[in-house]
Chains A and B, each alone.
Chain A
Amino acid sequence: MELKRVVVTGLGTVNATARSASTFHRALRAGHCGIGPVSVFDPSDFRTQTGGEVRDFKPRDMLPRFISLKRLSRSDAMAMVAAIEALTDAGLFPVPDQLRPELGVVIGGGAGGMLECEAVYRDYLQGRGKRPAYSAFASFGCASSADQIAGQLQLMGPKTTFMTACSSGATAVGYARDLVQTGAATAIVCGGTEPLCRITYSAFNSLQAVDPQYCKPFDKNRQGMSLGEGAGVMILEELGHAERRGARVYGEVLGYGVSCDAHHMTSPDPEGGGAVLAMARALEDAGIPPAAVDYINAHGTGTPANDKIETKAIKHLFGERAYRIPVSSSKSMTGHTLGAAGAIEGVVSLLALHHGFIPPTIHCTTPDPECDLDYVTEGARAADLKIVLSNSFAFGGNNTALVFSKFSQQGERP
């Protein structure tokens, strides 16, 4: 079977720092922090009260009238906004009729409709109200985002949803790339979405994995992550199709790798074995040597364990050259958007490739001897990037790494 080249022709995002990919580009350049007090629910009883919230999110004002918001959870609505932005950005909205059977949807999820469902559950447990609003459960689970996007836009290509916790969004992009590469679809609306919700917030707090202030990835005094929310969506398209319609190309999805630590459900393998495997597989799939990587968009959650082990894994794979590769964490700005993170960071990677810059790691001010790489702490940096590696690691030991490249017609490999 002939494998097709897969390019990215549209981007969309909603997150704590931005309501669109273009405003996200400016926020990343400015090193804007989206982490602040949480208001989507009352956090006053929790150990911490901050997060990367999408404030004043009004999907009705951001979507065409014909898109119904009935039974869309917050998570679904964020995915829908990002998906329509990405399709519009790609010049594929409204979706051409002849493309509908060949256009798929692959979404990585996290808590799905939990924000709405947990409120119903709470009322039920606390005996409030006459009868629980069971209709909220129509959008329970992660599948409803993809169902709503495909259903309302009448898309008939392959559709599915991954839930691998913090690597869901990255895995969705990787799988979508396979589908386009092997001809199962001409294009895929792919990405991830995640809402802030009480159960997730409480879970990470109970594990003491959350920084009470804001996350400080790779900083000596880091105390944990900041939970965030949002959606990141990109349009993956078969190169020939993109060229025939004269689409703008942000970059190419060169490869991806997935592995499992097989070590512990919530703690990463201290040797970083699974992380190294995922990165190495992604480079192998992309057909490029480690020496070709110009920038690493790190998982960089800000937990003591992740940042130390990710640094170790990068050194293991890249050797001495690790010290010359810029590595930054956009979670320092957006917070950790869990199921959406891999996709939002995919959007970051493509903006970086397309616009020629490296986004910074903010809040990293005190050097840590165990985190001694170039974390781009001084602010965004201009750079002509050819190859970007984006890492996503997760609960369950689920690791995914994505490799994006600047588009060149010849497709020559470094």
Chain B
Amino acid sequence: MPSADQHQAFIRHFLQHQDDLRAFVASAIRDWARADDIVQDVSVVLWERYEQYDPQYAFGAWARGIAANLVKREYRRVKRGPQRLSEAAIDALCAAFDEAAEERGSGERQAALRACLGELGDKPRHLLSLRYEEDLPHQDIAARVSTSVEAVSKMISRTRAALQRCVLKRLKLEGLG
């Protein structure tokens, strides 16, 4: 059984990386409730194998490798369902997450996002609210704001691009980017 020190170290590591793990798993699974379950399983595997973890390697990459395996198993397990990524694409994603994983903390990124959301105009903010707060598909959003689905998709995509630029700018200003 891991020692108390290892326990503390594990908690620190996992807290630091859990957001990234969830983002990785959820983006591949696209079922946020199911993704939570998988991340929970990842946390258990990590805890039980923590004694095998070599601190000279990045914890995030190690954890993501386990998460990737569980995502692949999930794909194999659920034989029917929506489109899925190939195993090669998941591996590529894993590498991409690894590349940027330790560069910035999720807390700073989220704070920057909050600030950037505050700078948005009413309309884009409303669209994001309909999508994320009310969980509406683009088709329903289009009906609610009396426009086409394509227009909604494009507006949300542009808003997200603007938010991404804004967040990067803020993080750079704070020396975190």
Q: Do A and B come from one complex?
A: no
